[in-house]
Every structure is written in structure tokens, then in C-alpha cells.
């Protein structure tokens, strides 16, 4: 599983000119799933995500988590996080999870963020052509890859 996390002042997602999700201060998170991913991996990645201390404290140090600042999540599915562009100029996406599997884990993460962590969680729309708008704070962007984090 790969999570591309952007610290944002605000972000939103549109599908067919309809806003499907919008947040103020928080994380815009692009979620990539591969076939080897499980609910257990999703749980560990979500725990890591919500506990990341990348918001600034009163001393201007990145020391506060999403809950510490009352931040929100905007989760957007993005299979292209598994793009492989090592050969040629056209990326391959064979590493991305099958749509049914990826959507199930994406929906699971949304549910867990809302129910287990009580975080306001907005979403994109799985498999849709989405338009994402954001104001990155910093900019501050982090990539979490379960293959590296969960060893």
C-alpha cells in the first residue's frame, strides 16, 4: 500500500463538476493499493497516517498529529501510485491492485478513519475521473510505502 500525504490548508475533489469531498486543515491522501495488501496492512498504514506528527506546534516544530490539531482527511484512490516507468516512456500499472480488491480496502480505510479514529473523513470517488484542488501547506508531502514501513 502506498499513501502520498500532503499537508493542506484546504483541499477538494470534484467528479462531473460535483464536489465529492472537501476539507480544511488536514491531510489530502492519495491511496494506492496492490493485490498483496490486506486489512492488517491497511490498519497499520492508517495508524501511521493518523499519528504522523507533521503539524507545527507553538515552537514552530513539526510535533503535532492530525488529532492534535483537529484536522481532517481527504482520501482519494489513485492506482497510478503503482506506476512503473523503468522501461520506455509509457508507465505500466500491472503492480496496482485489481479494482474490486483495491476499492474494498479503500472503503475499509474510510470506515476505519471515521469509526476507529473519529476523524472527519471526506473522499473522492473510486475509479472516477476526479479533479483535485488543494493548497499544500509548506509544501509538505510524504510518501508512505508499506513495503518499507512494515518490514
**CA 14 to mean position of chain CA atoms:** 16
Q: Considering 38, 62, 80, 116, which one is annotated as catalytic?
A: 80
Q: What pTM does this model have?
A: 0.94
- 140: annotated active-site residue: no
- 78: annotated active-site residue: yes
Q: How do residues 90-138 score in pLDDT, each as one tens digit?
A: 999 989 999 999 999 999 999 999 999 999 999 999 999 999 999 999 8
Residue 29 — φ and ψ, nearest 5°?
A: -125, 120
- 121: annotated active-site residue: no
d(CA 108, CA 42): 8
Q: Longest C-alpha distance within the chain, in Å? A: 48
Q: Considering 30, 55, 78, 123, which one is annotated as catalytic?
A: 78
Q: Considering 27, 30, 55, 79, which one is annotated as catalytic?
A: 79
What's the pLDDT at 99? 95
pLDDT exceeds cutoff 80 at 20: yes
d(CA 84, CA 133): 25
Query: Of 102, 111, 62, which Cα lies nearest the Cα of 81?
Result: 102
Q: How do residues 46-72 score in pLDDT, each as one tens digit?
A: 999 999 999 999 999 999 999 999 999
Long-range contact list for 14-21, CB < 8 A, 24+ apart? 14/130, 14/131, 14/133, 15/124, 15/125, 15/128, 15/129, 15/130, 15/131, 16/128, 20/122, 20/123, 20/124, 20/125, 20/128, 20/130, 21/74, 21/75, 21/76, 21/122, 21/123, 21/124
According to CATH, the topology of domain 2-149 is 3.50.80
Amino acid at each position: 500500500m502506498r499513501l502520498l500525504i500532503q499537508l493542506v490548508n484546504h483541499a477538494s475533489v470534484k467528479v462531473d463538476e460535483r464536489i465529492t469531498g472537501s476539507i480544511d486543515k488536514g491531510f489530502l491522501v492519495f491511496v494506492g493499493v496492490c493485490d498483496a495488501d490486506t486489512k492488517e496492512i491497511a490498519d497499520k498504514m492508517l495508524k501511521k497516517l493518523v499519528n504522523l506528527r507533521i503539524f507545527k506546534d507553538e515552537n514552530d516544530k513539526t510535533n503535532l498529529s492530525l488529532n492534535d490539531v483537529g484536522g481532517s482527511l481527504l482520501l482519494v484512490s489513485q492506482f497510478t501510485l503503482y506506476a512503473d516507468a523503468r522501461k520506455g516512456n509509457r508507465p505500466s500499472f500491472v503492480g496496482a491492485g485489481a479494482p474490486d480488491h483495491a476499492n474494498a480496502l479503500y472503503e475499509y480505510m474510510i470506515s476505519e478513519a471515521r469509526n476507529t479514529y473519529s476523524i472527519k473523513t471526506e473522499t473522492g470517488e473510486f475509479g472516477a475521473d476526479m479533479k483535485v484542488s488543494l493548497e499544500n501547506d509548506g509544501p509538505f508531502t510524504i510518501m508512505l510505502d508499506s513495503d518499507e514501513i512494515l518490514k
